[in-house]
Amino acid sequence: MRIDTKSSEFPRELVVLVHGSVTGGQETWQEQRSLSQEYAVVIPDRQGYGVGASEHADDPKADAATIGGLLGQGAHLVGYSMGGLVAMLAAAGRPEAVKSLVLVEPVAFDLVRGRADVEGFIAGYERLHASSPDAEGFLREFLVFAGNDPVEVAQIPDPMPDGLHNGAVALYTGAAPWDVPTPVDELAAATFPIVVVSGGHSAMFDAICDVLAERVGAERVVIPGAGHAVQYTGQPFNALLKSTWESAASHSEA
């Protein structure tokens, strides 16, 4: 797991940002790098991601153990999509080391099983997985299935660049998120603040975020403008992060 920091000096507050599937930390969190001017921003690459990484299946539990080790004596934790699931597992494993937890459309599908749109998404994903001849073919089909522009998907080089190829392999060979239980009880018992954010673009993801927030007692926020990748809104999302971190710090000092 590669770790990148852009700050030569570590300020008071440590922040760990956990990326999702397909793309690594640097691309996922490009709009948050400016936060390193005020915080110690750590952007790890999960197993199988990043420059020089070897092929590796997505393994949220193994990644969570590694992320937990990065929290040190206390850090603000942020997770996106599959990285949201990883962040929740890490927080459940080391709650004493978490100052706050922000989750961006985490893939907590197990909490909303039975909804027609959720079951349709899972069935469609599994059909694609079963019919795709290889990881790169699966990723191309999945990107279109998930709502990306087919014309843009068709422009992805064949074969894919190493980083994207590894992301395809991780997704194709790794654990499906609905097979990894969300640690709801552990998070509900935690004392750190939790914020669950969606982009307001998908009834399915809004439902996941609504149910998760209710189950764990989290603040619920919608930031439109970037679809599933809310962090790409830049300033609005960064403002939420800073407000959450400052509030958590004030609470701990009170």
Full domain range(s) for residue 167? 116-173
Structure-token pair, residue 229: 């990748």
Tell whether 30 and 105 lie within a shared domain.
Answer: yes
Tell whether 83 and 66 lie within a shared domain.
Answer: yes
**CA-based angle 27:92:64, to the nearest 5?**
40
Give me the pLDDT at residue 237, please: 98
Q: Give one word for 222, left, alpha or beta, with left for phi > 0 and alpha for psi -120 to 50.
A: beta
Tell whether 196 and 88 lie within a shared domain.
Answer: yes
pTM of the entire predicted model:
0.94
Structure-token pair, residue 176: 């499906």
Tell whether 155 and 55 lie within a shared domain.
Answer: no
DSSP classification of residue 111: G
Tell whether 19 and 105 lie within a shared domain.
Answer: yes
Tell whether 91 and 206 lie within a shared domain.
Answer: yes
> CATH no. for residue 32?
3.40.50.1820
Give me the pLDDT at residue 112, please: 98
Tell whether 94 and 213 lie within a shared domain.
Answer: yes
Peptide bond just before 183 cis, omega within 30 deg: no
Q: How many independent structural domains does the chain possess? A: 2
Of the residues 173, 193, 212, the one at which a domain ends: 173
Q: Which residues face 222 on adjacent strands?
A: 198
Tell whether 88 and 129 lie within a shared domain.
Answer: no
Give me the pLDDT at residue 1, please: 54
**Residue 113 three-state SS:** coil
pLDDT (tens, 9 = 90+) of the chain, 254 residues, equals: 555 555 445 447 999 999 999 999 999 999 999 999 999 999 999 999 987 889 999 999 999 999 999 999 999 999 999 999 999 999 999 999 999 999 999 999 999 999 999 999 999 999 999 999 999 999 999 999 999 999 999 999 999 999 999 999 999 999 999 999 999 999 999 999 999 999 999 999 999 999 999 999 999 999 999 999 999 999 999 999 999 999 997 766 55
Tell whether 96 and 198 lie within a shared domain.
Answer: yes
Tell whether 89 and 39 lie within a shared domain.
Answer: yes
Of the residues 130, 156, 173, the one at which a domain ends: 173
Tell whether 102 and 138 lie within a shared domain.
Answer: no
Tell whether 164 and 191 lie within a shared domain.
Answer: no
Of the residues 130, 148, 173, the one at which a domain ends: 173
